[in-house]
Amino acid sequence: MDVFELLKRLIAINSTSGEELQVGEFLADYLSSTGFQVRLYEAEQKRPNVYAWRGDPRLVLSSHTDTVPPYIEFSEDDNYIYGRGACDAKGCIAAMIKAAEALIEAGRDGFGLLFVVGEEKGSIGAITANQIPNKSRYLVNGEPTESKMILGSKGGLKARVRAQGRAAHSAYPELGESAIEKLLDMIQQVRQTSLPGNEILGTATVNIGTISGGIAANVLAPEAEAEMLFRVVNNTAELKQIVESAAAGRASVEYTFECEPVFMEHIEGMETDVVSFTTDIPLLNRWGKPLLFGPGSIHDAHTEGEKISKLELAHAVGSYANMVVRLQEKPLE
């Protein structure tokens, strides 16, 4: 099948995070039939990572098999393929596989394919895949980058903040203490703080993603909680200082996710950019120096109209194949 048919088959399999078994088994069968040695590694029960290789792999092409909900069926027109995972990241997987087939036909080996579960929710696949023994010098990670080589990606810091108050009738606020007001004061201090900047990645940002608490409009809230996610441009430590300064005397802080920004290798002659989203790259640091490249736009990912250009997808096959050749020919450092 060509790259369009392969992507259609992948989109037809619902693989929202936690439900990756069927797509993993499909990929394992397909890659075995094309001449790869293949092994499934369970990240969790019925959630297999797929590792396929030819010869002694010194580089791997990697992406993730899971998608965000809700599942959206495949459709197409003359220019685009639509459906959940079209660009994030089944388009990358399809292009990587067809590139690998072209390399095999040209007599090349010494490379692998690594497809992991759970990138959209917790990255358990990458965490466990990082324990697989390997001699890889380079990791080419696939995410929708508009077919540009990415020089750097922001890190992430997720903080859960909880405030405690004392319930009282709202007609007599002096008898209680509102956890919601304490939480709002803390959040406002964070929002008014100038966040750090970086000459490559730009300025750190913060999103107040969830906020909850309280009992009723006429009761001072005894508890309140919020989650905030920072996009990190230098390091998580400087952002933790901002959070903890704002929380002092107001709220407790729990960090539920953190990863530092990543600066990537690139291939001369290819268009470059930077991105604000995080990837599995920091969790796959035993697979060699990272590169980040993929067809499609992050602005289409996670949307009801997720799509990928057929022309860009076809070009990505050649781009991935060219990367493998150039990285294999790169002198040892």
14 within 8 A of 83, measured Cβ to Cβ: no
Tokens of 157: 């810091």
pLDDT at 163 over 90: yes
With a pLDDT cut of 70, the percent of the chain lying above it is 100
CATH of 3-153+261-329, one of 3.40.630.10, 1.10.1660.10, 1.10.3430.10, 3.10.20.10: 3.40.630.10
Is there a common fold for 3-153+261-329 and 155-259? no
- For every residue of 173-223, DSSP letters joined together read GGGSB-HHHHHHHHHHHHHHSPPPEETTTEE-EEEEEEEEE-S-TTB--SE
Residue 111 β-bridge partners: 54
pLDDT band at 330, cuts 50/70/90? Answer: confident
Rounded Cα–Cα distance for residues 205 and 231 (Å): 5
Rounded Cα–Cα distance for residues 73 and 11 (Å): 7
Tokens of 105: 């036909």
pLDDT at 331 over 70: yes
- Count other C-beta atoms under 10 Å from residue 173's C-beta: 12
Least confident of 53-57, 160-164, 259-263: 259-263
DSSP 175: G
CATH code of domain 155-259: 3.30.70.360
So where are the chain's domains?
3-153+261-329, 155-259
300 within 8 A of 281, measured Cβ to Cβ: no
Rounded Cα–Cα distance for residues 29 and 216 (Å): 56
DSSP 26: H
- Which residues does the annotation mark as catalytic? 119
Average pLDDT for the chain: 96
pLDDT at 278 over 90: no
Rounded Cα–Cα distance for residues 129 and 161 (Å): 31
pLDDT band at 333, cuts 50/70/90? Answer: low
96 within 8 A of 142, measured Cβ to Cβ: yes
Rounded Cα–Cα distance for residues 126 and 279 (Å): 10
Whole-number pLDDT of residue 152: 95
Q: Which is nearest to 62 in space by CA: 232, 285, 271, 307?
A: 285
pLDDT band at 130, cuts 50/70/90? Answer: very high
